Amino acid sequence: MNKTSDNNFTPEFFERLSYQSPFFVFSKKRIRENIQEFKELFPGALLHYAMKANSEPEVLKLIADAGCGFEVASKYELHMLQKLKINPEKIVYGTAIKPASHIKEFFEYGVKTFAFDSSSELEKIAAIAPGSRVYVRLVVNDAGSVFKFSEKFGTDIENAVPLLLHAQELGLQPYGISFHVGSQASNLHAWANALESLEPAMKELKEKGIPLEMLNIGGGYPYPYASAESALSLQEIADVTLKQYKKLPYQPKLLLEPGRKLVADAGALLATVIARVERKEHTWLFLDAGCYNGLFEAMPYQGSTRYQIETTRLIKDEGEAMFALAGPTGDSQDVITREVLLPADMSVGDKVIIQNVGAYSLTVTSRFNGFPHPTVYFT
């Protein structure tokens, strides 16, 4: 079996629980530890949690209580924060393309910081949220990342100065520059290289009387799933990135948008075997939870994320065997993995623990075939 994740979600932990399967469990302690790691490695930086990774109310409240802000991408996410009475000054509207009606709600709530990557978006913001702070999102090299963002988002770096000057002409406050190196980045120098590329624009803007106040270096900080051959540590990323940051012509405030890295290892999913079926190529274990109601990133086209998987069942004389795991829906793509070692005598009713599912699990669940959202518990 795969090595148990270094959180509290051991088989023994799950054996003590009597919740109805399937269900998620999240560790508040682990989220706090992950936040603290970012604060220690990027001292003084602003942390704005990318709430798309996991927007459970208890997660959001925990992150707010730790002093973090939020990177928000729709009025629907904003509504979640409004219910928690999050200070609008702790919120940035971080997606570069926004519906006008959403901008209006953010502005009316008091949010004054908006991303953009085009003249048309600038003009929209100026008309609906006059006087707001704006930062331009740039395209950077995202080679080596599992999920690439450079096709859909961002403008070329040569447009940074003209766009920020145009923002000033429109009565907006040119605030900064942002970029995103892509999710699950594997290039240690991705953030540093992006910062280095900003030097000419930073100098020109300062010469024109609008020095940058903020550099948003986004997210992308990788989590080492079972499918990863290797993964960069946050310490390595911070060391290289901050070294380059200190070489810039001047040092605007750094803003980070961690999402996955804050919550991935804080969650586990317990599911139950509902069928064992021998097929020509695999022995299949069908579970009561799958890709559509908890493990969307396990689908091949989602980057081939593979989770650490174990069971509460003890290994007996029969030893271990290779299994394929599938969810309960009628879709042939609802396959969690085709290769996992579990006790050879796994049968209906046995419990399977899927570790490190804190990110991009709950936020992308669906009611496909009518299966419900698994219950969520915190510890």
Which residues pair with residue 378 across a beta bridge?
26
DSSP class of residue 109 equals H
How confident is the model over 349-353, as a mean pLDDT?
96
For residue 122, CA distances in Å to 6, 108, 117, 180, 204 come to 45, 18, 8, 20, 20
Tens of pLDDT, residue by residue over 188-241, are 899 999 999 999 999 999 999 999 999 999 988 988 887 656 678 999 999 999
Q: How far is CA 86 from CA 39, 64, 67, in A?
A: 20, 7, 11
Q: Which of 170, 163, 63 is nearest to 119 (CA)?
A: 163
The per-residue pLDDT of the chain, averaged, comes to 90
- Give yes or no for residue 318 having a pLDDT over 90: no
pTM for this entry: 0.90
Q: Count Cα atoms within 13 angstroms, Cβ side, for 55.
A: 20
- Maximum Cα–Cα distance across the chain: 76
pLDDT tens-digit map of 72-109: 999 999 999 999 999 999 999 999 999 999 999 999 99
Nearest-10 Cα torsion for 81, 87, 88, 89: -140
Q: What percent of the chain has a predicted confidence (pLDDT) above 90?
A: 78
pLDDT for 243-301, tens place per residue? 999 999 999 999 999 999 999 999 999 999 999 999 988 999 999 999 999 898 887 65
Beta strands in 79-132 (DSSP E): 91-93, 113-116
Q: What is residue 297's predicted lDDT score, i.e. its pLDDT?
A: 86
Q: Which residues lie below 8 Å from residue 332, measured CB to CB, with a gap of 6+?
A: none
CATH class, range 11-23+265-378: mainly beta
Domain residue ranges of the chain, discontinuous segments joined by +:
11-23+265-378, 55-258
Residue with tokens 């331009």: 136
Fold of 55-258: TIM Barrel (3.20.20)
Locate 265 and state its tokens: 């290892």
DSSP letter, residue 360: S
Position 333 pLDDT exceeds 80: yes
Instruction: Say which residue, 30 or 229, is predicted with more confidence.
Output: 30
Band of pLDDT at residue 145, cut at 50, 70 and 90: very low
What percent helix, strand, coil does the chain show, rounded to 5? 35, 25, 45
Strand partners, 268: 25, 355
Are 183 and 220 in contact by the 8 Å Cβ rule? The answer is yes
Amino acid identity of 374? P
140-137-266 Cα angle (round to 5): 80
SS3 of 136, please?
Answer: strand
- CA nearest to 188, candidates 237, 260, 247, 242: 237
Amino acid letter for position 282: H
% of the chain with per-residue pLDDT over 70: 92
Whether 348 shows a pLDDT value over 70: the answer reads yes
